[in-house]
């Protein structure tokens, strides 16, 4: 039997949806008992949300003032203590999980599987390499704890309806003072979250300016969609960095992805390969984005976006 | 600060369309253009800027890889690294092993700062920085987009999913460079000539005492599932129709 420890990601109040997707991955491991660990200053609210996820057997909480902000150097020694007796330690492959889990793996002296995208067996997972151009099946030794980050785009969020017990645990681990949280500038917006949105409208270099990029924001708002951007658009300052989609940005799997003026470099495509429907609008009929688009329109985005807005308003 | 160590990995160039070997044993690398991992150029650029501000004495580029990785180290020297170290092996090391090798070099060189790339674009693992920091028992700052050195500590802005996070860490520490940390300089011809005279030490992997044996067994490498062929519509009306048919608008 597998005993899986999933490290919850949260902002102190809300459980991140990526954790629910990570739980889905854990549920695909045959014969698994799933524990979600919530490390926080005050874990109650997040623990209650985790307890409702289908498939979760138990929630453990570690309440400590030093857990108010997710600092890998502070969390890792605690996760190592928690991991005793578990066969797997998983976290979402988000900035949080990518920062924390390799530190945990190294402390445990085991390798890590990054971005697990499919479960083949209890110790066998698939993961993408080379910007998603080569999928590798990896087998981990069954006599060691398996540490893996889970690619959110590859798993649906676990549904609610569960009612797992919540247990508080005290951890004796010396946490370092060498790493200190200062601040986080979260771009607060009412827009759907890019990582989990069903629809995403995305813009590239072709938008040409921050002002023009407003077209993308406006269309997204009309459609109830999240906004994404290519690296070129982010680098040029048209869109904030947290909207970057791709190998080094966010890997997403929306129902609908609309790309305006994005050429379709492999580094961008790796971020949208799992989207159900890709729509590309590009002036250049030869643009590589058309090789992956389900629906392509060879046209000028500055004409298409206003027309589309009108057509959708009807 | 005296020394900054920078990780320089030799990888398949980012413009190459990587192909999977038909027998599923890996990807085709024979005759393929190899380069410095793009994030490592950013890491090196940052180290050089810190040095140029007078905040560091020496920048050392370290690569773990085949003999040919000397080419990438020469590029690093041409960019401005003072010296380079190649830990030679023909085995492909997992990030944990790479981190262990870097630790061995760290213990020998005692740098005040190690900067590596956020991820290597071959394995896309993004593990080496936190692993090295853990093994060294020092702070880490991954996905850096801004670094300010303040004597014995540093203030770092990190790219996180919500936006930007600022943390403060004591040195020595391990940083990983994100795309927007800086734009690496171009190498000029005279610098390439000068780089030929800079010291490049080569040592065997065995000298570090680190085992190359992989902890994870790759059983199959396959291409991603191809997407089914799409349609081209001629105008917005057709586009909207197609979206309506799929129930997407
Ligand atoms: C290590 C590394 C990591 C990277 N990671 C990422 C990543 O995570 N995400 C990412 O996106 N990129 C990433 N990149 C960059 C990537 O290689 C491309 O440079 C980038 O995606 C290009 O962005 P773009 O498509 O917006 O711009 P371009 O490639 O310049 O394409 C612009 C497109 O707009 C079209 N166009 C121009 N005008 C119009 C118009 N009026 N109407 C319609 N179409 C028009 C053009 O035909 C062109 O196809 C990475 C690169 C490296 C080296
Ligand atoms: N073999 C290596 N030689 C030098 N640096 C490496 C090596 N492997 C990893 N690194 C460094 O660690 C970073 C992250 O690599 P990875 O964890 O494999 O994604 C790279 O960008 C390099 O800076």
For A192, the token pair is 């759907």
Q: Which of B127, B128, B224 sits opposite A133 (nearest CB)?
A: B224
Averaged pLDDT score across all residues of chain B: 96
- Evaluate whether B4 touches B47 at the Cβ level (below 8 Å): yes
Please report whether residue B243 resides in a domain.
no
pLDDT digits (tens, 9 = 90+) for A237-251: 999 989 999 988 999
Q: How far away, in angstroms, is B10 Cα from ligand 2 center?
A: 9
| CB atoms inside a 10 Å sphere around CB A214 | 13
Average pLDDT on B9-23 reads 95
Could you tell me which residues are beta bridge partners of residue B222? A135
Q: Is the CB of B116 under 6 A from ligand 2?
A: yes
The model's confidence at residue A188, banded by pLDDT at 50, 70 and 90, is low
Residues 140-199 of chain B with CB under 8 A from chain A are 140, 142-143, 145, 155, 158-170, 173, 178-180
* Residue A1 pLDDT exceeds 90: yes
Whether the predicted pLDDT of A114 surpasses 70:
yes
Q: Please indicate, yes or no, if residue B241 is contained in any of the structural domains.
A: no
In this complex, which of B118, B130, B228 lies closest to A72 when CB atoms are compared?
B130
| Residues of chain B numbered 36-75 and touching chain A (CB < 8 Å) | none
Structural domain contains residue B28: yes
pLDDT at B48 over 80: yes
CA B115 / ligand 2 centre spacing (Å): 10
Ligand number nearest CA of B94 is 2
Query: What is the distance in angstroms between the Cα of B84 and the nearest Cα belonging to chain A?
Result: 26
Q: Domain for residue B197, yes or no? A: yes
Most informative mutation of B84, B101, B116 for ligand 2 (most atoms within 8 A of CB): B116
- The pLDDT score that the predictor gives to residue A187 is 67
B80: domain range? 3-220
Query: A199-313 sits in which CATH class?
Result: alpha beta
In a domain, B149, yes or no: yes
Q: Using the mean position of ligand 2's atoms as its centre, give its distance from the Cα of residue B77 in Å.
A: 18
What percent of chain B is predicted at pLDDT more than 90?
94
The CATH fold of domain A2-168: Rossmann fold (3.40.50)
The structure tokens listed for A67 are 């857990």
Q: Is B91 exposed, middle or buried (0-12, 13-18, 19+ CB in 10 A)?
A: middle
Evaluate whether residue B226 is within a structural domain: no
Q: What is the mean pLDDT of residues A65-81?
A: 97
In this structure, the number of other CB atoms found within 10 A of the CB of residue A42 comes to 16
Average confidence (pLDDT) over A223-246 = 95
Rounded distance between C-alpha atoms, residue A243 and residue A277, angstroms: 19
pLDDT of residue A47: 98
Q: Is B59 in the pocket of ligand 2 (CB under 6 A)?
A: no
Tell me the three state secondary structure of residue A155.
coil
The domain ranges of chain A are: 2-168, 199-313
How big is the A-B interface in CB pairs under 8 Å?
246
The pLDDT, as a whole number, for residue B172 is 98
Q: Does A2-168 match A199-313 in CATH topology?
A: yes
H helical segments located in chain B: 38-52, 69-79, 95-109, 128-136, 189-195, 236-245
Which member of B145, B216, B232 has the closest CB to residue A111?
A: B216
Q: Kindly state the percentage of chain B with pLDDT values over 70.
A: 100
- Which chain B residue lies closest to A282 (C-alpha atoms)? B232
Contacts of A268 in chain B (CB under 8 A): none
Question: From the alpha carbon of A245, which atom of ligand 1 is closest?
Answer: 9
Does residue B231 form part of some domain?
A: no
CATH code, domain with B187: 3.40.50.620
CB contacts, 8 Å: A71 with chain B: 167
Backbone angles phi, psi at A130, to 5 degrees: 45, 55
Q: How many domains does chain B have?
A: 1
pTM above 0.90, yes or no: yes
Residue A22: phi, psi to the nearest 5? Answer: -65, -40
Instruction: Tell me the average pLDDT across B180-201.
Output: 95
pLDDT in tens, A20-53: 999 999 999 999 999 999 999 999 999 999 999 9
Predicted confidence at residue A248, as pLDDT, reads 86
Are B67 and B88 in contact by the 8 Å Cβ rule? The answer is yes
Percent of chain A residues past pLDDT 70, beyond the cut:
99
Q: Does B246 score more than 80 pLDDT?
A: yes
Asked, for residue B204, whether it belongs to a domain, the answer is: yes
Whole-number pLDDT of residue A202? 98
Band of pLDDT at residue B155, cut at 50, 70 and 90: very high
Q: Is A139 exposed, middle or buried (0-12, 13-18, 19+ CB in 10 A)?
A: middle
The Cα–Cα gap between B249 and B238 comes to 13
Closest CA to A289 of A309, A308, A270: A270
Check CB contact under 8 Å for A134 and B160. Answer: no
* Model pLDDT for residues A193-211, shown as the tens digit of each residue: 898 899 999 999 999 999 9
How many C-beta atoms surround the C-beta of residue B57 within 10 A? 12
- How far apart are the C-alpha atoms of B187 and B73, rounded to whole Å? 13
Q: Note whether A304 contacts B236, CB cutoff 8 Å.
A: yes
d(CA B137, CA A226): 40
User: Given an 8 Å threshold on Cβ–Cβ distance, is B224 in contact with A106?
Assistant: no
What pLDDT score was predicted for residue A270? 92
Q: What's the rounded Cα separation, in Å, for the pair B70 and B61?
A: 11
Q: What is the pLDDT of residues B81-106, one digit of tens each?
A: 999 999 999 999 999 999 999 999 99
């Amino acid at each position: 039997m597998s005993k899986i420890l999933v490290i919850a990601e949260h902002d102190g109040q809300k459980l991140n949806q990526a954790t629910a997707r990570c739980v889905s991955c854990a549920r695909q491991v045959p014969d698994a008992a799933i524990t979600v660990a919530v490390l926080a200053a005050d874990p109650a609210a997040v623990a209650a949300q985790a307890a409702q996820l289908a498939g979760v057997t138990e929630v453990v909480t570690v309440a400590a003032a030093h857990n108010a902000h997710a600092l890998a150097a502070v969390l890792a020694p605690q996760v190592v203590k928690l991991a005793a007796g578990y066969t797997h330690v998983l976290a979402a492959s988000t900035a949080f999980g990518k920062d924390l889990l390799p530190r945990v793996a190294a402390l445990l002296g085991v390798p890590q599987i990054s971005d697990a995208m499919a479960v083949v067996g209890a110790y066998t997972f698939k993961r993408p390499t080379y910007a998603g151009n080569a999928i590798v099946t990896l087998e981990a030794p069954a006599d060691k704890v398996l540490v893996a980050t889970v690619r959110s785009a590859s798993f649906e969020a676990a549904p609610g309806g569960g009612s797992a017990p919540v247990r508080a645990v005290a951890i004796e681990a010396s946490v370092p003072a060498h790493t200190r949280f200062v601040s986080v500038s979260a771009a607060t917006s009412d827009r759907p979250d890019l990582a989990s949105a069903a629809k995403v409208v995305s813009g590239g270099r072709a938008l040409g300016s921050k002002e023009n990029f407003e077209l993308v924001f406006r269309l997204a708002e009309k459609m109830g969609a999240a906004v994404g951007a290519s690296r070129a658009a982010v680098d040029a300052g048209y869109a904030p960095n947290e909207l970057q989609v791709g190998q080094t940005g966010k890997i997403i799997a929306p129902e609908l992805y609309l790309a305006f003026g994005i050429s379709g470099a492999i580094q961008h495509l790796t971020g949208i390969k799992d989207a159900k429907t890709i729509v590309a609008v590009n002036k250049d009929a030869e643009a590589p984005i058309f090789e992956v688009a389900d629906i392509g329109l060879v046209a000028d985005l500055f004409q298409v976006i206003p027309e589309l807005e009108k057509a959708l308003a009807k | 600060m005296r020394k900054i160590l920078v990780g320089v990995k030799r990888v398949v160039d980012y413009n190459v369309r990587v192909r999977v070997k038909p027998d599923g044993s890996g990807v085709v690398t024979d005759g393929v253009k190899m380069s410095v991992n793009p994030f490592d150029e950013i890491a090196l650029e940052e180290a050089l800027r810190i040095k140029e501000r007078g905040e560091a004495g020496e920048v050392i580029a370290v690569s773990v890889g085949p003999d040919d990785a000397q080419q990438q180290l020469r590029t690093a020297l041409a960019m401005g690294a003072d010296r380079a170290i190649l830990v030679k092996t023909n085995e492909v090391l997992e990030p944990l092993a790479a981190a262990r090798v870097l630790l061995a070099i760290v213990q020998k060189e005692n740098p005040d700062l190690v900067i590596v790339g956020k991820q290597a674009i071959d394995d896309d693992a993004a593990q080496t920085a936190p692993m090295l920091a853990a093994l060294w028992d020092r702070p880490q700052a991954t996905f850096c987009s801004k670094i300010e050195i303040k004597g014995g500590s540093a203030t770092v802005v990190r790219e996180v999913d919500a936006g930007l996070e600022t943390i403060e860490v004591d040195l020595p520490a391990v940083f990983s460079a994100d795309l927007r940390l800086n734009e690496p300089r171009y190498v000029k011809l005279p610098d390439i000539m000068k780089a030929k005279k800079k010291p490049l030490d080569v040592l065997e992997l065995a000298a570090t005492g680190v085992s190359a044996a992989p902890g994870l067994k790759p059983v199959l490498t396959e291409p991603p599932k191809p997407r089914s062929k799409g349609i081209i519509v001629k105008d917005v009306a057709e586009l909207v129709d197609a979206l309506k048919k799929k129930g997407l608008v």
